[in-house]
Amino acid sequence: MSLKRKASDPDDEPPFFRSQPVEDRQSTFIGFYSPSLKPKELQSLPELKTADHKVAGWRRESNQQSIGKAKLYVSGSDDDGEKYAGKKIEKVMEVCNTTGSVVVARWWGGIMLGPVRFTHIETVARDSIRACESHRAEAGAKRRKAFEEKEEHAKLCKTLADRDGSIVVLRKLAADKEQKLKDIQDGATASSPPSAKAPTDYSALPLERLRALEKARDATLSFLLKRIDKAEGDLAKLAVDAG
Mean pLDDT by runs of 10 across the 243 residues of the chain is 46 86 93 94 93 93 74 88 92 93 93 91 95 91 93 94 92 89 70 68 92 94 92 82 64
pLDDT at 117: 92
- Helix and strand tally (H, E) in the chain? 4, 6
Q: What is the CATH number of domain 17-142?
A: 3.30.230.30
Q: pTM for the whole thing?
A: 0.67
Do the bridges between strand 53-65 and strand 17-18 make them parallel or antiparallel, or are there none, so unpaired? unpaired
Identify which of 106, 121, 118, 114 has the alpha carbon closest to the alpha carbon of residue 26: 106
Question: d(Cα 212, Cα 207) in Å, to the nearest integer?
Answer: 9
Q: How many CB atoms are located within 10 Å of the residue 34 CB?
A: 22
Question: d(Cα 66, Cα 63) in Å, to the nearest integer?
Answer: 10
Question: d(Cα 164, Cα 203) in Å, to the nearest integer?
Answer: 15
Give per-residue pLDDT as tens, 157-208: 999 999 999 999 999 999 988 888 888 777 655 555 556 677 889 999 999 9
pLDDT at 10: 47
pLDDT at 193: 57
Helix, coil or strand: residue 176: helix
In the chain, where the domains are located = 17-142, 149-242
Residues 22/124, Cβ–Cβ less than 8 Å: yes
pLDDT at 11: 54
What ranges make up the beta strands (E) of the chain? Answer: 17-18, 22-24, 27-34, 53-65, 71-78, 100-107
pLDDT at 6: 46
